[in-house]
């Protein structure tokens, strides 16, 4: 009796929230239902491409049930895989598929809940908006060092890349640079967010980010004539794409299970779409 | 037995108890520091065993080619620390002299209060502000590159070490022999003469120690160089180049695979940082001891 009353109250709360946030359909109440009565904290860390979706999901879950605390941190895919494997965190995020050794060593369970692309970006004032693969590889290897060589202004190119842990870097290096070298003069930033902010502030910079992070503050660069956007990743014409994974050590249980399930629910997948990524369901 | 002696006995027991407690705390602290050293040695051993030590210190960082050298980072760390010291030392010295000898009383209180406040500001706040204010400025001033460079990180790092040094210097100046100061006043000496003939010579060991402490802090700071120096792994050919310091390198590589040589190499970085800081502390002790013996 008491429980059903709480349920009704929570349902009402959800509807109010749904009313307050017009983007949230009433479906959300059903998808959030598994969190009723759950308690405790959930630690999530790793890939930074995942963070916008994770934050939104966490916000909704925590406003649905204030007894749940969800902490989200970055650190890169490598860190997500390792910390999840060692049990330091409950869910690890990775923007690349863990290697078979990693999966076997840590007994990782993989959940791929979105598809993402990695696109090249430049400052929005930069006239260069299209590059061939060869030009891109030349720029990142340091062979092409001036923007005028690719049709821009006469100014040195500032290359930005990511740290060793980055899944975005691994995917970009493999699929866009064809495993070519990245110049040791490249500047290194530590997250997708930092990459966007830095390139948005540097008129002569070039970098690469998750398509989910792209907005008007930076300009996307077409690769071999294909614009890095959702439509082109979806229809397969833009090749530099990857899955976004969440990992747990062994089968997830309790809160972690509910969280992973929520990512795959209609509401979770809607969040994925709202944040500029491609849902898997 | 008189009551007085009895209570002295109890007091004695207490003193012994506290003595033991504090002594064990000190011993544990010392052992922990040693334990960290051993830990770094053991985990860095695979790389050192292969006779890589020399190549580690001289080769570039190129994991793809099997090179895990940390020479560029070592060079960048030392350059950055020296540069920030060059900027920070004159400011610290001037500021601490102003506080101890030159400024009117009210201004002194205000200054020392502000310095204490500065000492408490987290480095990430300085770096974040500099990312938006200093980096675009440096990009325009340098005229090439991204604005992330050793030259950008140095003033921010100087800002970081100045409070430590000022507080250290002020404490040193205050310990200078009062009788000498009074004697100089009696002789009608000016304030500048007081600084040149009494304060500076009297506080010399403290000035050296404070500077070494500042250098150690500058060498060990992670956030400022991680956010502002650009982190490129190339050997910096000028101060306007992007470069990576040892602590930033550790932060950037730490998240790679446990079993990889990249990961092992950062223990060597840690060991190097440990040794450099340890050596600095040793240097601090040496000149610090002589005036005590004289008095």
What does the pLDDT read at residue B292? 46
B148/chain A closest Cα distance in angstroms: 8
Provide the pairing of β-strand A68-75 with A40-46.
parallel
Spatial separation of the C-alpha atoms in residues B183 and B193, rounded to whole Å: 12
Q: Which residues of A touch B262 (CB under 8 A)?
A: 164
Read off the tokens for B1. 């037995």
Alpha-carbon distances, residue B141 vs A125, B104, B144 (angstroms): 20, 38, 8
B261 Cα distance to chain centroid: 29
pLDDT of residue A153: 92
- Measure the CA–CA gap between B139 and B146, rounded to whole angstroms: 6
pLDDT of A20 above 70: no
- Please check the confidence at residue A148 and state whether its pLDDT lies above 70: yes
Q: What is the mean pLDDT of residues A217-228?
A: 95
Tally: H helices and E strands in chain A: 11, 11
Mean pLDDT, residues A85-89: 91
Span A74-101, average pLDDT: 91
Cα distance between residue B97 and residue B207, in whole Å: 12
Closest CA to B269 of B250, B256, B252, B243: B250
Nearest chain B CA: its distance from A204 CA (Å): 7
Q: Which residues of B touch A207 (CB under 8 A)?
A: none
Closest CB from A164, A185, A201 relative to B252:
A164
pLDDT at B2: 47
B-chain residues near A189 (CB < 8 A): 231
Residues B274-279: what's their mean pLDDT? 84
Q: How confident is the model at residue B255 (pLDDT cuts 50, 70, 90)?
A: low
> Rounded to an integer, what distance in angstroms lies between the CA atom of residue A96 and that of residue B127?
30
pLDDT at B1 over 90: no
Cβ partners under 8 Å of residue A180, min gap 6: A137, A140, A141, A173
Tell me the pLDDT tens digit for each residue of B18-33: 999 999 999 999 999 8
pLDDT at B177: 83
A98 touching B (Cβ < 8 Å): no
Crossing angle of helices A254-264 and A51-64, rounded to 10°: 120
The residue of chain A nearest to residue B248, with distances taken between CA atoms, is: A188
Indicate which of B60, B133, B140, B146 best probes the interface with A, i.e. most A CBs within 10 Å of its own CB: B146
Q: Give the pLDDT confidence of B107-140 residue by residue, as tens digits.
A: 999 999 999 999 889 888 999 899 889 999 998 8
What is the pLDDT at residue B224? 93
Report d(CA B143, CA B133) in Å as an integer.
16
Nearest CA in chain B to A199: B146
Calpha distance B206→B176 (Å, rounded): 10
Q: Which stretches within chain A are classed as H helix?
A: 2-20, 27-32, 51-64, 77-85, 100-106, 133-141, 167-175, 192-201, 230-234, 254-264, 266-274
- Residue B47's Cβ-side half-sphere holds a number of Cα atoms within 13 Å equal to 26
pLDDT tens sequence across B172-218: 998 888 888 888 888 888 888 888 888 888 888 889 889 988 998 89
Mean pLDDT of B13-22: 88
Residue A194 distance to chain B (closest CA, Å): 10
Q: What is the percentage of chain A residues whose pLDDT exceeds 90?
A: 75
**How far from A67 is each of A35, A36, B186, CA to CA, in Å?**
10, 10, 72
Q: Token pair for residue A27?
A: 């479906």
Contact A221, A135 (CB under 8 A): no
Can you give the pLDDT at residue B129? 92
Residues in CB range of B230: below 8 A, 6 or more apart: A187, A188, B146, B148, B149, B241, B242, B243, B244
Q: What is the pLDDT of residues B69-86, one digit of tens each?
A: 888 998 999 999 999 999
* Residue of A24 and A118 predicted with greater confidence: A118
A165 in contact with chain B, both atoms CB, cutoff 8 A = yes
Amino acid B294: pLDDT: 40
Max intra-chain CA distance, chain A: 75
User: Would you say residue A249 has pLDDT above 90?
Assistant: yes
A190 and B147 within 8 Å at the Cβ level: the answer is: no
SS3 A152: coil
Q: Residues A151, A127: contact at Cβ < 8 Å? A: yes
The minimum CA-CA distance between A251 and chain B, rounded to whole Å, is 23
Global pTM reads: 0.79
Q: Taking CB atoms and an 8 Å cut-off, how many pairs form between chains A and B?
A: 69
Whether B5 shows a pLDDT value over 60: the answer reads no
Instruction: Find, in chain B, the residue whose alpha carbon is nearest to that of A98.
Output: B257
Is residue B102 left, alpha or beta, with left meaning phi > 0 and alpha meaning psi from -120 to 50?
Answer: alpha
Distances (CA, A) of B191 to B174, B185, B198: 15, 9, 10
Tokens 């640079």, located at residue: A177
Q: What is the pLDDT of residues A156-213, one digit of tens each?
A: 999 999 988 888 999 999 999 999 999 988 999 988 999 999 999 899 999 999 999 9
CA distance B69 to chain A (A): 13
For the residues A236-264, what does the mean pLDDT come to?
94
> With an 8 Å Cβ cutoff, are A78 and B147 in contact?
no
B64, B139, B258 member nearest A181 (Cβ): B64
Instruction: State the helix-helix crossing angle for B150-174 and B71-97, rounded to 10 degrees.
Output: 40
User: How far A63 CA lies from chain B's nearest CA (Å)?
Assistant: 30
pLDDT in tens, A28-74: 778 898 998 888 999 999 999 999 999 999 999 999 999 999 999 98
Could you tell me which residues are beta bridge partners of residue B230?
A: B243
Mean pLDDT calculated for residue range B268-280: 84
**Chain-chain contact of A164 with B255 (C-beta, under 8 angstroms):** yes
pLDDT above 80: residue B234: yes
Percent of chain B with pLDDT over 90: 37
> Is residue B161 within 8 Å of B216, Cβ to Cβ?
no
């Amino acid at each position: 009796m008491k429980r059903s009353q709480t349920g009704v109250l929570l349902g009402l709360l959800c509807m109010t929230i749904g009313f307050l946030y017009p983007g949230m359909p009433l479906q959300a109440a059903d998808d959030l239902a598994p969190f009723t009565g759950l308690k405790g904290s959930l630690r999530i860390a790793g890939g930074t491409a995942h963070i916008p979706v994770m934050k939104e999901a966490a916000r909704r879950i925590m406003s649905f049930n204030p007894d749940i605390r969800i902490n989200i941190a970055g650190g890169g895919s490598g860190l997500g895989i390792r910390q999840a494997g060692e049990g330091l965190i409950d869910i690890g995020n990775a923007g690349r598929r863990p290697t078979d050794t990693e999966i076997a060593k840590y007994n990782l369970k993989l959940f791929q809940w979105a598809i993402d692309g990695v696109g090249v970006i430049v400052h929005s004032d930069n006239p260069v908006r299209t590059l061939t693969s060869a030009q891109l590889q030349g720029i990142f290897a340091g062979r092409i060092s001036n923007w005028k060589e690719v049709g821009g202004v006469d100014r040195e190119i500032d290359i930005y890349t990511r740290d060793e842990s980055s899944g975005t870097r691994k995917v970009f290096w493999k699929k866009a640079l064809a495993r070519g070298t990245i110049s040791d003069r490249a500047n290194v930033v530590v997250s997708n967010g930092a990459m966007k902010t830095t390139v948005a502030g540097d008129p002569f910079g070039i970098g690469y980010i998750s398509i989910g992070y792209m907005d008007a503050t930076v300009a996307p660069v077409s690769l071999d004539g294909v614009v890095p956007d959702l439509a082109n990743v979806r229809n397969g014409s833009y090749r530099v794409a990857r899955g976004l994974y969440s990992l747990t050590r062994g089968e997830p249980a309790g809160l972690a299970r509910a969280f992973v399930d929520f990512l795959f629910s209609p509401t979770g997948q809607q969040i994925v779409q709202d944040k500029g990524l491609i849902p898997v369901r | 037995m008189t009551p007085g002696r009895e209570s002295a006995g109890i007091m004695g027991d207490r003193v012994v108890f506290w003595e033991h407690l504090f002594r064990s705390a000190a011993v544990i602290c010392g052992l922990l520091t040693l334990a960290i050293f051993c830990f770094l040695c053991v985990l860095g051993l695979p790389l050192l065993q292969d006779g890589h030590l020399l190549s580690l210190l001289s080769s570039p960082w190129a994991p793809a080619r099997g090179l895990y050298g940390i020479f560029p980072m070592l060079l960048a760390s030392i350059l950055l620390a020296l540069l920030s010291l060059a900027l920070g030392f004159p400011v610290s010295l001037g500021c601490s002299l102003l506080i101890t000898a030159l400024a009117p009383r009210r201004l002194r209180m205000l200054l020392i209060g502000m310095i204490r406040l500065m000492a408490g500001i987290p480095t990430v706040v300085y770096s974040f502000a500099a990312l938006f204010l200093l980096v675009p400025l440096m990009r325009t001033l340098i005229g090439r590159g991204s604005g992330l460079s050793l030259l950008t990180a140095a003033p921010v790092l100087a800002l970081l070490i100045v409070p430590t040094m000022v507080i250290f210097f002020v404490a040193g100046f205050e310990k200078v022999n009062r009788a000498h100061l009074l004697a100089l006043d009696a002789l009608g000496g000016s304030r500048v003469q007081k600084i040149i003939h009494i304060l500076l010579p009297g506080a010399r060991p403290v000035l050296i120690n404070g500077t070494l402490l500042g250098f150690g802090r500058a060498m060990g700071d992670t956030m400022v160089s991680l956010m502002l120096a650009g982190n490129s792994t190339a050997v910096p050919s000028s101060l306007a180049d992007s470069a990576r310091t040892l602590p930033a390198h550790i932060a950037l590589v730490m998240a790679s695979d446990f079993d990889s040589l990249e990961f092992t190499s950062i223990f060597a970085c840690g060991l190097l940082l440990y040794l450099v800081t340890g050596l600095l502390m040793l240097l601090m002790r040496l000149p610090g001891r002589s005036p005590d013996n004289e008095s």
